[in-house]
Amino acid sequence: MPNTDRFQVMDEDLRPSFFGFHDLMSWRVERILLVASLYDAFVLEEDGRLTERIFSQFSSLSLSSPPRVTPVRSVTHALRALESGSYDLVVLMLRLTDEESASFVREVKRRHPGVPVVFLTYDGSGLPRRVAAMEDAGIDRAFLWQGDTSIFLAMIKLMEDQANLDTDVSRGDVRLVVVVEDSVRYVSTFLPVLYREILSQAQALIDEGLNDFHKIFRMRARPKVVLATTYEEALELFERYPLNVLGFLSDIRFPRGGEPSADAGFELLAAVRRWAPDVPFMLLSAESSNAQRAHASGALFLDKNSPTLVKELRRFLKHHLGFGDFIFRLPDGAEVDRARDLEELLAGLRNAPGESVAYHATRNHFSHWLAARGEFALARAIRPRRPEEFDGPEELRADLIRRIQHARQALQRGIIADLITGARFHSTRTFQRLGQGSLGGKSRSIAFLGALLERARLEESFPEVHIGVPRTVALGAYVFEQFVEANDLERLLSADLPDEAIAAAFLAGEFPSEVTASLCRVLEAVRSPLAVRSSSLLEDSPEQPFAGVFQTFMLPNNHPELGMRLEQLTHAIKLVYASAWFASAQRYLKAIGQKPLEQQMGVAIQQVVGRTYEKVFYPTISGVAQTHNFYPVRYQRPEDGVALVALGLGKTITDGGAALRFSPQHPGIVPQLSNLERIFDETQRRLWALDLSRPDARVSPQSEHPLVRIDLADAERHGTLTHLASVYSAQDHRLRDGLSTPGPRVVTFAPILKWKSFPLCDLLGRVLERAHEAMAGPAEIEFSAVLDDDQPEFHLLQIRPLTVVEAVQPLDLPLAAGAHPIVASARCLGHGRVDGLRDVVYVKPQTFDRTQTPAIAAEVARCNEELLGAGKPYVLLGPGRWGTSDPFVGIPVAWDQVCGARAFVEASLPGFEVEPSQGSHFFHNLTAFRAFSFSVGLRRPDEHVDWAWLDRQPAFWEGLWVRRLELRVPLTVAVDGRSGEGRIVVEGESSGSPTRRLGTPPPPR
């Protein structure tokens, strides 16, 4: 059958998870033509209730749609039906002579060679003769009806397995159970039992499936059953699939070389044992005298006449083919533990006696059990490892645990597993979804990071580092919709309430009981700190990133009572929901033209990366890295990328604080460290951490708690500063790497950037390369690292697209003789030109006071609200960084407080020089909205702000700190994105500057 799967032409990295499950079991029996007398058809349908029972069996085992059975009463009707319709299986039950039966089979095979035909009869007398006659005609199989409709399930599945065997083994590495039996009576007894156990096992494994795709894969990847009736058929199957055979169920007396052989089963056992001494092998015989010989040959034995035949057969499947729990035993057979799934198998491996682990490994019990459960790659990986290759059982145990953990991590990376209501929470799964609906932008990006790491194979290049993504539970947007609707919260949107009232209304709401129960199971398994992060539907999109617009809360999650921790978690989730309707979010939505009700909210509950030190928790390194460097220096190129790193939690960076900036391709160039006179102004002096001392405290939108700022002295006491700091020596005015000498500590990251104590630059280089490929353009990642353990950790927290305005050609800016440049800079962002701007808001340099920046931000926000309401874009100028949370670095405005600005100017003042920041939420919004940005320094002759000109213009409004101008003559803003040069000019005022094209060198002086 030709394969038309659309994924066949896909790039390897683009293939979906569990790629290939579409190809498994590609041929199915969907329509059955039953050739039977009216009486037989009536007996099957009315007494045996054939259709009902087939439907019930398929449904109870979660199989695909049951086949449709069409009865016909004669061979003439059958041939006519085959001509007029499409059938996948023909079942012959008519009482015909041997010749009539054979003639019908030959005619079907002649006209429809691809349609299998099976013979089903009530009458066991003369069966071998009749079957032999039809085998010559091409009959596929024969079965004996013994009053149990499950024979139909067995017939259907046997035909499907036979047709799909080669494809499923080659593409899915599925396993097979070989049944060797030439007796139709015993085949008709064994197969229903065998399929019932195999399909029940597959059904049980569905509950462990990560998501719907994985569950379908597990059902389709169940072990196949193949039937051989001769020695040659059985041996050929084993030789074709030696690594895929789970076990044998074999008669002892069956044909070999065309003749019946009383020892064929023993001869087959010997042939198999030469190549695979550990394959489970059960011999079956009606002659009990064969039992002793079978046991002596290393096989299990089952008497066909035993009244417990079915029970013993099930026991073999469960205990020897891996169809039940894994039972840890001692060599004497004593049971010491049981495992139902991989998680419990790992626990058993850690706790079982060494002799038990060695006992099972010697006999390949672990690989057999894993293969029966569809863990094919893992089973194949551990099978060749023999106990004698290790220095004792403890080394063997460690190797097995490591391999299983690695396989599980590889499987789960990038997979969105479903957290099913009432099911056990799997704490080892990296990403789980709770509730339906979209995950939202942030949760999507976290899930994608797992897939990106799985494809990047970074562990192979950095085996000394544990690389991963923090475990995350994502609440789908439908949970938000349920919560809002059930608690009648939509009314708040039209009530014009303050943020405090909105928060109170959300906090008073109740979650559905199933959501609360699922969150409770999460907290039962997770006791480490958690970040409750917003994940709106539009968040982290290139054009509308919503960076920093909604709330994120961190929870210590260390209260001794589960009920209190659940209350704190639901409290935080409700506040994240409420933040979507806060005034700042509504202003943002209005600015981008979105309606409030269109903004649905998901939530990501993510484990925080870090370690506990005394009463605080934080990572050694937090960072943001971008594939595009907007401010390259010296021989750096924009495409080399840039990273901003800090000690402690990432709030230092996202809020625009004093983080260290460097390019992973050029770690020796760190401009912040070039001027020792300003070293303490340019580098980090304090760090953010999570306070663990108040486990009963609740988060609040108005408070930083539970976040606290601690000093570098605290970090040195914790041992984290050692990895990142140098000492300033006042005696010789230089920095000394390490902390072995007295003096002020400076966060320089020198041990990493200079001495490569941790491969951060190489790691970031690889990750940024893959991120750019994955996003098909510029990207930004957030990351954290912990360095104080034997194996350092590196975790990716988030990925988002980065907006970079591409400049196609140099930009002409005709500066007429009367034009006056108000602002000039060689470090600009954006590309293009805007004419006709008449409104300017600027912070007065004469009254600027870095201790009053929150008050300055309030005056700026007032101007923005008025101009935004009037639909007037404007130019915003001020000292230091816009959007920082550090009041000593710049103006701490939120994006919604300045979102009407078309151009931003960050200027240095005497005694207040600040480098531009690239990693903050504010910066991300600025670039995404394609606003122009000008950075103006004091020491660069090609950069200036004409503050005097601004001061001479009449004020439309003036506060204590800020002036707003409404100019008579409009401004023109122009930036050349290729050169980074830009100007803001006003026509009609002479500047004395010559006219030139931006992007060309200045004239010689």
Q: Are strands 660-662 and 734-737 parallel, antiparallel or unpaired?
A: unpaired
Q: Are strands 827-829 and 832-843 parallel, antiparallel or unpaired?
A: unpaired
What's the sign of the alpha-carbon dihedral 194, 198, 200, 201?
Answer: positive
pLDDT recorded at residue 441: 83
Q: How far does Cα 456 stand from its chain's mean position?
A: 14
pLDDT recorded at residue 216: 60
DSSP character for 668? T
* Residue 576 token pair: 């994240």
Spatial separation of the C-alpha atoms in residues 213 and 209, rounded to whole Å: 8
Of residues 429, 524, 519, the one with CA closest to residue 470: 429
Of residues 119, 65, 125, the one with CA closest to residue 91: 119
Report CA-CA distances (Å) from 974 to 602, 775, 823, 931, 1002: 39, 29, 10, 11, 16
Q: Which of 289-303, 557-571, 746-760, 885-899 has the lowest mean pLDDT?
A: 885-899
Q: Which of 481-485, 643-647, 859-863, 927-931 has the lowest mean pLDDT?
A: 927-931
Report CA-CA distances (Å) from 834 to 50, 718, 806, 982: 78, 52, 17, 12
Confidence band for 195, pLDDT divided at 50, 70 and 90: confident
Residues 6+ away with beta carbon under 8 Å from 892: 853, 854, 857, 883, 884, 885, 886
Question: What mean pLDDT comes out for the span 312-319?
Answer: 85
How many beta carbons lie within 10 A of that of residue 155, not counting itself? 24
pLDDT surpassing 90 at residue 252 = yes
More confident residue, 597 or 771: 771
Q: How far does Cα 319 stand from its chain's mean position?
A: 35
pLDDT recorded at residue 145: 84
Question: What mean pLDDT comes out for the span 663-667?
Answer: 95
In angstroms, how far is the first alpha carbon of the chain from the final one?
A: 78
pLDDT recorded at residue 490: 86
pLDDT recorded at residue 989: 58
544-589 confidence digits (pLDDT tens): 556 557 888 999 999 999 999 999 999 999 999 998 888 888 777 7
pLDDT surpassing 90 at residue 769 = yes
Residue 704 CB-half CA count within 13 A: 12
Q: 299 near 178, Cβ under 8 Å? A: no
* Residue 700 token pair: 């609040």
DSSP character for 663? B
How many beta carbons lie within 10 A of that of residue 111, not counting itself? 11
Q: 630 near 640, Cβ under 8 Å? A: no
| Owner of token pair 């966060």 | 747
* Residue 77 token pair: 């009707």
Backbone φ/ψ region at 143: left (φ over 0), alpha (ψ -120 to 50), beta: beta
Residue 345 CB-half CA count within 13 A: 22
Which residues are 965's β-sheet partners?
840, 955
* Residue 829 token pair: 């962002």
For the stretch 967-994, what's the b/e string if a residue is b when 16 or more beta carbons lie within 10 angstroms of its beta carbon? beeebbbbbbbebbbbbbbbeeeebeee
309-320 vs 184-206: helix axis angle to the nearest 10? 40
Contacts within 8 Å (CB) and 24+ apart, 420-427: 420/207, 421/514, 421/517, 421/518, 422/514, 422/517, 423/207, 424/521, 425/518, 425/521, 425/522, 425/524, 425/525, 426/343, 427/471, 427/525, 427/526
Question: What mean pLDDT comes out for the span 402-429?
Answer: 65
Question: What mean pLDDT comes out for the span 131-146?
Answer: 88
* Residue 934 token pair: 């000008």
Spatial separation of the C-alpha atoms in residues 985 and 820, rounded to whole Å: 5
Question: What mean pLDDT comes out for the span 423-432?
Answer: 70
pLDDT surpassing 60 at residue 990 = no
* Residue 616 token pair: 């605080």
CA-atom Rg of the chain in angstroms: 37
How many beta carbons lie within 10 A of that of residue 202, not counting itself? 23
* One-character DSSP codes across 809-842: S-------TT-EEEEEESEEE--EEEEEEEEEEE
Of residues 880, 842, 836, 822, the one with CA closest to residue 957: 842
Spatial separation of the C-alpha atoms in residues 405 and 342, rounded to whole Å: 9
* Residue 138 token pair: 């091409």
Spatial separation of the C-alpha atoms in residues 980 and 922, rounded to whole Å: 20
* Residue 220 token pair: 């389709």
223-247 confidence digits (pLDDT tens): 899 999 999 999 999 999 998 999 9
Q: At 415, is the secondary structure helix, strand, or coil?
A: coil
More confident residue, 428 or 459: 459
Report CA-CA distances (Å) from 831 to 820, 834, 837, 915, 932: 21, 10, 17, 21, 8
Confidence band for 922, pLDDT divided at 50, 70 and 90: confident
DSSP character for 425? P
Q: How far does Cα 674 stand from its chain's mean position?
A: 41
Spatial separation of the C-alpha atoms in residues 831 and 217, rounded to whole Å: 50
Q: Which of 11-20, 433-442, 680-689, 947-956 has the lowest mean pLDDT?
A: 11-20
Q: 474 near 446, Cβ under 8 Å? A: yes
pLDDT recorded at residue 814: 46
Phi, psi dihedrals of residue 194, rounded to the nearest 5° = -65, -45
Which residues are 964's β-sheet partners?
841, 957
pLDDT recorded at residue 189: 87
pLDDT recorded at residue 758: 96
pLDDT surpassing 70 at residue 62 = no
pLDDT surpassing 50 at residue 994 = no
Confidence band for 151, pLDDT divided at 50, 70 and 90: confident
Q: 26 near 167, Cβ under 8 Å? A: yes
pLDDT recorded at residue 214: 56
Domains and CATH numbers, the chain: 23-170 (3.40.50.2300), 326-412 (no CATH), 416-608 (3.30.1490.20), 618-675+718-804 (3.30.470), 820-986 (3.50.30)
Please report, as a single letter, which amino acid is at residue 616: V
264-305 confidence digits (pLDDT tens): 999 999 999 998 888 999 999 999 899 999 999 989 999 998
Question: What mean pLDDT comes out for the span 315-325?
Answer: 83
Spatial separation of the C-alpha atoms in residues 83 and 112, rounded to whole Å: 9
pLDDT surpassing 70 at residue 10 = no
For the stretch 113-140, what's the b/e string if a residue is b when 16 or more beta carbons lie within 10 angstroms of its beta carbon? eebbbbbbbeeeeebeebbebbbebebb
Q: What is the pTM of this model?
A: 0.68
Average pLDDT, the chain: 85
Question: What mean pLDDT comes out for the span 935-946?
Answer: 90
| Owner of token pair 């020491």 | 939
Alpha helices in 336-413 (DSSP H): 342-351, 354-362, 365-372, 376-382, 393-412
Q: 695 near 558, Cβ under 8 Å? A: yes
* Residue 239 token pair: 């030789």
Of residues 646, 678, 631, 676, the one with CA closest to residue 912: 678
Question: What mean pLDDT comes out for the span 889-909?
Answer: 92
* One-character DSSP codes across 434-446: ESSS---HHHHHH
Q: 831 near 805, Cβ under 8 Å? A: yes
Confidence band for 456, pLDDT divided at 50, 70 and 90: confident
Q: Which of 195-209, 305-319, 835-849, 857-871 has the lowest mean pLDDT?
A: 195-209
pLDDT surpassing 70 at residue 743 = yes
Confidence band for 337, pLDDT divided at 50, 70 and 90: very high
Q: 860 near 843, Cβ under 8 Å? A: yes
> What is the SS3 string spanning 291-332?
HHHHHHCCCEEEECCCCCHHHHHHHHHHHHCCCCCEEEECCC
Spatial separation of the C-alpha atoms in residues 576 and 483, rounded to whole Å: 12
* Residue 69 token pair: 């059975």
Q: 356 near 154, Cβ under 8 Å? A: no
Confidence band for 979, pLDDT divided at 50, 70 and 90: confident
Which residues are 907's β-sheet partners?
879, 936
pLDDT surpassing 50 at residue 15 = no
Give me the numbers of helices (H) and strands (E) for the chain, helices first please: 32, 45
714-737 confidence digits (pLDDT tens): 999 999 999 999 999 988 889 999
Percent of the chain scoring above 70 in pLDDT: 85
Q: 777 near 617, Cβ under 8 Å? A: no
Peptide bond before residue 706 is cis, with ω within 30 degrees of 0: yes
Spatial separation of the C-alpha atoms in residues 849 and 351, rounded to whole Å: 64
How many beta carbons lie within 10 A of that of residue 46, not counting itself? 9
